[in-house]
Structure 1
């Protein structure tokens, strides 16, 4: 199963969640609903170089995909989904771009 971490307030997350909804290949994890899910995401983000560029830009690094082989990616296509078409800037930690 592919885990998708994100938040319902993130348009990039909801875009990929709509594609994954109802498909048993995916587990959607909205870490805004429970602190244990947030902690799991932060462990990934704090210890994985995949997030280096996102952190440098001040981005949250979501949606985040944990593939079945354990590899972490921020690229929806690597998880078999499509990215939201570019419509300006992505969400940043400071709230810009959302």
Structure 2
């Protein structure tokens, strides 16, 4: 699983802590760490319909969880499927 986010975002910090607490393995792409990471995220955000509501409401759309081609911004989707 890939998690897009930043330590500057309280929701991202909370989400990665929850994943760590459950021992769920993930690759954390910190979008504020490099231009490459930011471009990777914005490419996904600009092309995937899962972000439509977030963009409409003026949100960035992080944390974003990508697993097996599915994209979610809801940590409960990830935690529930890990049970």
Q: TM-score range by the shorter chain?
A: 0.7 to 0.9
Per the alignment, residue 86 of structure 1 pairs with: none
Per the alignment, residue 14 of structure 2 pairs with: 15
Per the alignment, residue 44 of structure 2 pairs with: 44
Q: Secondary structure at the match of 1:4?
A: strand
What stretches of structure 1 move > 6 A for 4+ residues in a row?
none
Q: How does 1:1-98 map to 2 (within 5 A)?
A: 2-21=1-20, 23=23, 25-67=25-67, 69-80=68-79
Kept in 1, the 8 Å contact 2:3–2:27? The answer is yes
Post-superposition offset of 1:9: 0.8
**What is the root-mean-square deviation in Å for CA atoms of aligned residues?**
1.6
Q: Secondary structure at the match of 1:39?
A: helix
CA deviation map 1:49-82 (0-9, x unaligned): 1111100110000000001x1111111112127x
TM, length-normalised to structure 1: 0.73
TM, length-normalised to structure 2: 0.85
Q: Which segments of 5 or more consecutive residues in structure 1 lack a partner in the other structure?
A: 82-98
In structure 1, C-alpha distance between the alignment counterparts of 2:24 and 2:73, rounded to whole Å: 20
Post-superposition offset of 1:24: 5.9
Q: Which segments of 5 or more consecutive residues in structure 2 lack a partner in the other structure?
A: none
